[in-house]
Structure 1
């Protein structure tokens, strides 16, 4: 093999990575090498810039743990997460669109019955989200599990609070035989992404808004249907048109209706203000 020069090093690196035993790994790595080398040539990457990037990646790994995924956050703000979501979730007309998972998902949320409160005593205006899960033909999907999580009324997730005794603002709800669901929580607040790490440090050098509009996350992984990871967004919320992770979709914007008093969707009577949001999830049939 010839020694590396500026002119042939890309070909040499591609040739090496093409030896991967998995054809898909070989495809991914050779394409990555070509694009990385092309990027370095296009911007004429300096050694100082290369070292700064290596240190940034190192710090991104060091700050990450089971509750904070800084690499996912980096992917989100670069638009890569949403690009991958859209390429891999090309659902048919009428199906609920997918959006990003985000860096604060915690696996293993507890099961909660119809209408149960997942706020664990968090302060805020009571919120009921209700609706139906159905397929694209309109048939209800009974027994579907909605894995739900959100930020609180101050824009903070459980994953950002350190030690928490009980699941907070996250739970799993199962639809009734007629496909209906109902959950109780508190009205979430739009929030800034974490700015105390490498991603925030990078954004500070730009004019990019580092805020997300108020939203609630849903994950529905029902046999026979495509897995759906999505949000609902509060209609009229700030930052809908400048979501730092590019996650907003028009179909996912929902009116949050305020009631001064009355009967909630689960039948509870309220003498204080509460909010309701109605949204039907439409699942794409599995391949």
Structure 2
């Protein structure tokens, strides 16, 4: 056992339900990481206020503990139940909007979702990211530019989607290789072309604690048809987004709040010329989309501007740090 030492730090001498919040904040403040101190203090304040405002019972508190325990147990290398919980509570979209603000003329972001992997293979222009029989063929042609319209070459376009059964490759028990996901690099003119399959609506995993919660809340687990994208280019803010099929039955009731109007797409047909060029049929599906991203500097400036506005005239003990984030001013 570790040897006993004289306790260091602040002394708690008056512990009541009225003083528990200030005492918790006090003992959590024995370090010099001012951003962490700010985050923990706000978390404690809001959690304690929640308990007081709702008159939280011991049984309800224990039910919450058991729920979060079940969420943790459901997580694995290929399933993230906590991300799913965050998605269904609207937190994922909110955090992305705060962390990666966009000017109105560039592509907006949305949530990552729980099905992204890091084993997607890089594809050549015009390749398919899907194996045979995964759905109705879809050709995507796109461009990538910066916020001024300048084409961006050699950027990474990472995309993934479900198959015709509404399942991602990671949801199949005997998955061996990545499927329905791939990476393509933009050409000198910022263009790219890739083949996949037409996405379909699907239910998020609802066989776990998050699904049971949705059922309890009388909420459906469905998402509209969509294709996920992560776009990376050195010196530019990473874009996490998705494109959603306009007119989908779940367009206005997405279980994870990911749909944004600027991200809605409609499909047309490939046509004779492109069908011949890309070894497809004229009646296969076609999507044209232009993406635009901001530099890291542009993103930092927007974060700083928005955080200053949000901070307003709050406590003068709070300052904006070098990352543009609020934190407590250094202690004297």
Structure-1-length-normalised TM-score: 0.95
Determine if the alignment matches structure 1 residue 286 to structure 2 residue 296. yes
- Report the equivalent of 1:262: 272
Determine if the alignment matches structure 1 residue 233 to structure 2 residue 236. no
Three-state SS of the structure 2 residue aligned to 1:233 is: strand
CA change 1:39–1:122 in 2 (3 A) is farther
Moved more, 268-277 or 169-178: 268-277
Q: For the pair shown, which has the larger CA radius of gyration, 1 or 2?
A: 2
- Report the equivalent of 1:163: 174
Unaligned runs of at least 5 residues, structure 1: none
* Distance in 2 of aligned mates of 1:156 and 1:266: 30
* Distance in 2 of aligned mates of 1:195 and 1:154: 16
* Distance in 2 of aligned mates of 1:53 and 1:285: 41
Three-state SS of the structure 1 residue aligned to 2:236 is: coil
* Distance in 2 of aligned mates of 1:122 and 1:13: 57
Q: Is the 8 A contact 1:125 1:273 kept in 2?
A: no
Q: Cα offset for 1:208?
A: 2.2
* Distance in 2 of aligned mates of 1:264 and 1:209: 39
Which of 224, 230, 253 is residue 213 of structure 1 equivalent to?
224
Q: Cα offset for 1:256?
A: 1.4
Determine if the alignment matches structure 1 residue 187 to structure 2 residue 192. no
Q: Cα offset for 1:265?
A: 6.8
Three-state SS of the structure 1 residue aligned to 2:296 is: coil
Q: Report how many residues are paired.
A: 286
Determine if the alignment matches structure 1 residue 105 to structure 2 residue 136. no
CA RMSD in angstroms, aligned pairs only: 1.5
Q: Is the 8 A contact 1:212 1:243 kept in 2?
A: yes
**CA deviation string 1:103-152 (max 9, x = no partner):** 11101311000011111224311011111111121111111110111111
* Distance in 1 of aligned mates of 2:31 and 2:224: 43
Three-state SS of the structure 2 residue aligned to 1:38 is: helix
Structure-2-length-normalised TM-score: 0.83
* Distance in 2 of aligned mates of 1:94 and 1:68: 34
Q: Is the 8 A contact 2:269 2:282 kept in 1?
A: no
Unaligned runs of at least 5 residues, structure 2: 1-11, 298-332
Q: Is the 8 A contact 2:160 2:228 kept in 1?
A: yes
Three-state SS of the structure 1 residue aligned to 2:76 is: coil
CA change 1:111–1:159 in 2 (3 A) is same
* Distance in 2 of aligned mates of 1:234 and 1:284: 25
Q: Cα offset for 1:268?
A: 2.2
Three-state SS of the structure 2 residue aligned to 1:87 is: helix
- Report the equivalent of 1:277: 287
* Distance in 1 of aligned mates of 2:276 and 2:91: 39
- Report the equivalent of 2:311: none
Determine if the alignment matches structure 1 residue 144 to structure 2 residue 155. yes
Determine if the alignment matches structure 1 residue 172 to structure 2 residue 172. no
**CA deviation string 1:59-79 (max 9, x = no partner):** 100110111000001011111
Three-state SS of the structure 1 residue aligned to 2:49 is: helix
Alignment of 1:10-159 (within 5 A): 10-159=21-170
Q: Is the 8 A contact 1:221 1:228 kept in 2?
A: yes
**CA deviation string 1:237-262 (max 9, x = no partner):** 12111111111111111111145x62
**CA deviation string 1:148-185 (max 9, x = no partner):** 11111111111211331221100000111111111111
Q: Cα offset for 1:266?
A: 8.2
Q: Cα offset for 1:30?
A: 1.1
Moved more, 36-45 or 12-21: 12-21
CA change 1:266–1:215 in 2 (3 A) is farther
Q: Is the 8 A contact 2:155 2:185 kept in 1?
A: yes
